[in-house]
Structure 1
Amino acid sequence: MIIRELKSLNQLQISQANKITLIEFAKSHGYILENGGRCALHAKHSGGLYFFKDSNKYYHFSTDTHGGPIDFVMQFWNMNFKEAVAFLLESETPRFTPLPILLKQPASSFFQTRHPTIGESLGIS
């Protein structure tokens, strides 16, 4: 059954649609992305459209709009909520999986030990 024929959407479908990897979705629909900073990709010729790698969100400076995959499709494909969810679920785009934050090296011993406060150092406690 095609999802667009459904009368209503459930939370699982909405959650799955929001897990579509927004960057991959944008690339597969013709957006040319370039490095836009440490955590973002900028869509060329887009009026300030940025995609954020770590949060699976977008921000469009020209229209001051932002959000996740469903919001993106609603804004740029001019669809309502139900149509946007169906469109995303029918796409072949991979799902977003947040990456764990890995430290390049363990915290130094300075940060692992307690140091006296300024007051303690001056004898004021």
Structure 2
Amino acid sequence: MTELRSQVLWAGVAVLCYIVAALAFLAVVAEAGIVGPGPGSVGSVSIVGMIVSVLLFVAGGYAMNRARQGRTQTARPEQSSLPPQYRSGSPAVEPDADEWNADPGGAGDGGAIRCPECGGDNAADYAFCRHCSAELPE
């Protein structure tokens, strides 16, 4: 709970700095607009106001960065207890071409049944094709 309070505090400081900086900038622009263009229209007060507003914007950025740092440190995902092959995002394990085309069940050419739909070889005791799921002849 202390970390949350710290994050909220830093975010509040950042927003306050942004608001004061924007108001200081607008005050300087308004003063320059009232005085108007001409020699000596930008006085030392205007320059100080611009420097203050820039510094407040920088301070607001620093405070917002501090608020975000606290959030990223607390939001860590837990390590999964599943084996790697079952985790989300892990590549699926698919048989290679040799496994698909291998003699099913080691029955040899005499014990294999050829599928009438796809032409794939299946073991003699299979009722359905292992490639396309079509019903095999007996």
TM-score, normalized by length of structure 2?
A: 0.23
User: Larger helix proportion, structure 1 or 2?
Assistant: 2
Asked which structure has the greater CA Rg, the reply is 2
Q: Which has the higher contact order (CA 8 A, sep 6+)?
A: 1
User: Larger strand proportion, structure 1 or 2?
Assistant: 1
TM-score, normalized by length of structure 1?
A: 0.24
